[in-house]
Chains A and B, each alone.
Chain A
């Protein structure tokens, strides 16, 4: 159990001393997860709104597909994205393999079904009377969409947090698509995997605690935001 305490102390030391390798991994993690969560929210919220709001034929099977994709294994996504981004793959010309944008593409695929599924649930749980209320006030289609989203904001926020947690903590995509290149594509989770392989449990625990601290800060910010709105 000593290495957990050692890890805790080492985490404080790493953060306090401004260890460049640690901060490089933190920077890579924050950047890549921000790219992917941004992209998945931009695409996923409108799609989730449509899935939850409208009734159309094939809605139920589509919902089942989305729910299934919420459990996509990260190594499988990593494998697929690797296959597309490698030089022999269809997107090989873009040179995205072993880059942060490459990891972000994989993480977006990971987060998108979560954002779509939880947004659809949030929109489905809106009171049916909301639509009547908004329309009776004279809203046009765009205002109806925005106002409905605003009413579902707490559910959407919960979906965004769940997706953010998933992309922050995944290893498979970052490892396979990013390659765990020091100073470049090494994220906190791939660094933890590496340190553990090297037998540096203390360092691994320290990086894990740093990851937890980042997640804590994000949740505190969201919780504050939620109280304000």
Chain B
């Protein structure tokens, strides 16, 4: 295995004495695509800003290519670039926005060519867009120009913070294609924070879950937020929007604790009921089927009262179960398999 391009150790970051991020250990391999999944406020943007050397962590170290780096480090500032969540352009023309980073680096010789290539990559023809001022663009075009400005730099690491969150479907598709293509051509490392699970499962070599500032698992775990209520005896439960209940055989550490159920601990089937799972039975609808990049398995997203569950199936199982989006399916899990975050 290559030396990690990023090594993060004992990282802690706080705002106004409130800890936003606490990561003990996080490595990223060069030329890999890493996805970060987590709810709003989980610390995804903060993590990307720290990896992008925009901010200095309150505590801990970030190593890039084996060397400790911080904001303005000469070893890294020309190799790493971050596309923030909200599109932002400086008050200048599209051409000057895209060429800005090249000028900072003193790459004056072939600026025109690189700007034109970058704009073409995000589906904005240079002849139509290069001279436009920053205010004469739609939200999607602004985000694509912002991406083009990063791609023109030919970075070693491209950090994308919710790149498709505020754009239409067509722009989202162009952004996804452009960033992946650029990374393939440049051999760059891509770290994406996104809610787009399908996209991440499809393209990422590794997906990590970020919750309350802590990285865990592979990003494919089913995370179930409290509150939990006592049912009877040892049983605790959470009632879902459609009236079904997720039952636990042990009391949670606290009523609003966050439970995790591994996809491998759940069996999904369209067959008739199996009795050996006791109270751990749920019924839902197949929302999505996504082919995973690394495992060649199919990740199925099952909606149960608006709560998405992820299960893994082999191709044969999908064929045998005749799974398709919209189909009803039963989930069996053992209440003993629930872990707490």
Contacts and interface: CB of A to CB of B under 8 A. Distances in A.
Contact of B82 (A130, A136, A143, A147): A136
A139 interface: yes
Interface stretch (B86-94, B292-300, B322-330): B86-94
Interface in B94-110: 100-101, 104-105
Contact of A130 (B71, B72, B90, B153): B90
A114 B149 CA distance: 36
A137 B101 CA distance: 5
A133 B88 contact: yes
Nearest to A143: B104
A157 to B, nearest CB: 13
Contact of B54 (A127, A135, A140): A135
Given A130-B90, A133-B84, A133-B90, A141 B72 contact: yes
How many interface residues does chain B have, given as a range? 20 to 34
B153 to A, nearest CB: 7
B71 A127 contact: no
Interface residues of A, number: 17
B114 interface: no
Given A136-B52, A137-B81, A130 B88 contact: yes
A140 B77 contact: yes
A127 B52 CA distance: 19
A138 B88 contact: no
Classify the interface of chain A: helix, strand, loop or mixed.
helix
A151 B90 contact: yes
Contacts of A129: 84, 86, 88
Nearest to B105: A138
A16 interface: no
Nearest to B155: A138
Nearest to B74: A140
Nearest to B90: A151
A132 interface: yes
B3 to A, nearest CB: 23
B78 interface: yes
10 contacts: A130-B90, A132-B84, A133-B84, A133-B89, A135-B53, A135-B72, A136-B52, A137-B153, A138-B104, A151-B90
Interface of B: 49, 52-54, 71-72, 77-78, 81-84, 86, 88-91, 100-101, 104-105, 146, 149-150, 153
Given A135-B53, A136-B83, A138-B78, 11 more contacts: A127-B88, A130-B90, A131-B54, A132-B88, A136-B54, A136-B81, A138-B81, A138-B101, A138-B104, A139-B77, A147-B100
